[in-house]
Amino acid sequence: MSRRLKTLLWGLALEALVLPALAAQEPPTWAPATLPEARQHDLQAQSGKAYRIFIAAPNQAPPPAGHPVLYVLDGNAAFPVAAFLARSAAGRSEITGLTPPIVVGIGYPNSKDFDGPARRRDYTVASGGPEDGVSEGGAEDFLDFIETELKPLIAARHPVNPERQALFGHSFGGLLVVHALLTRPDSFSTFLASSPSLWWKEQRVLEKLPLLLESNARPRVQISVGALEDDPPKGNYPPEMRAMIAQRQMIPPARQLAAQLRQAPGWENRLAYYELAGEDHGLVWLPALSRGVQFFLEQP
């Protein structure tokens, strides 16, 4: 018998022994994935609305003034990304000198990355219509929830720095961030508005700009949009979607708001504005959030 044939027969015999043993083993058990140093809690606000609150705190002693805090809207989607950026900042703090933040995600108790009806309810500005506060226009109630319920909850759990707190939101979330900036400029030290839907109700939110300019508040502000938002690459966009995009221009009102702030007295070096190359509306929030975390942590 040739050596080659002996080797083949030996391999077949070994396979006959091993395969039944493998088949008899139970399939591997898969555990749910976890996010390092993160917790979540489903909370019913005093208004009766339900929220899922995510939190990740640095695994190190707080600075004397307390931890900075970054609040991110659409927490189901944005919190894991923001938490990673905060962990990265913590791991490099000895080199960069940046103080890593607590990250608080404000989401909803379901499996959706973006809960369309809930965010339309909570993030949009009231226009005086019959739906206000029910299916839309609830921005003021939502900001009251953050200020009077959520912030005290976080402060009771962790030592926080009330002078270094930021709010990030995208699209309708960016609209809410701009509304908070214009009407409650002292509520956060940094406002991070990604692709704010300023077109909402014929740019009604911008009617409050004089309130900010007449106040003494000078928070730091980042406004960003994707350079392709108003003219996305040709693809599978149906004609009706392209018509909607044409009616809901993102770049011109964001650019104008940034220009008005830059020209106002006392706003020198308080504003960062980006038109992010190669980005459309869907995913531009990712680089906007990355730049926003850096912008926030570099706050003097």
Q: Kindly report the three-state secondary structure assignment for every residue of 17-46.
A: HHHHHHHHCCCCCCCCCCCCCEEEEEEECC
Catalytic residue among 171, 194, 197, 224: 171
What phi and psi, each to the nearest 5 degrees, are found at residue 150? -75, -50
pLDDT digits (tens, 9 = 90+) for 123-166: 999 876 655 556 899 999 999 999 999 999 999 999 999 999 99
Catalytic residue among 179, 189, 224, 229: 229
Query: Is there a catalytic annotation at residue 281?
Result: yes
Three-state SS at 195: coil
Ramachandran category for residue 232: left, alpha or beta (phi over 0 → left; psi -120 to 50 → alpha): beta
pTM, two decimal places: 0.88
Checking if the pLDDT of 291 tops 90, the result is yes
Q: Could you tell me the pLDDT band of residue 14, with boundaries at 50, 70 and 90? A: low
* Residues 71 and 146 sit within 8 Å (Cβ to Cβ): yes
At residue 111, the pLDDT reads: 93
Q: How far apart are CA 281 and CA 297, in angstroms?
A: 25
At residue 8, the pLDDT reads: 47
Catalytic residue among 67, 170, 179, 281: 281
State percent of the chain over pLDDT 90: 70
Q: How far apart are CA 247 and CA 230, in angstroms?
A: 9
- What is the arithmetic mean of pLDDT over 38-43? 94
Checking if the pLDDT of 23 tops 70, the result is no
Which range (141-155, 182-196, 221-235, 267-281) has the least confidence? 221-235
Domains and CATH numbers, the chain: 35-297 (3.40.50.1820)
- What does DSSP say about strands 271-276 and 50-56: parallel, antiparallel, or unpaired? unpaired
Contacts of 230 (CB under 8 A, 6+ apart): 245, 246, 249, 250, 251, 252
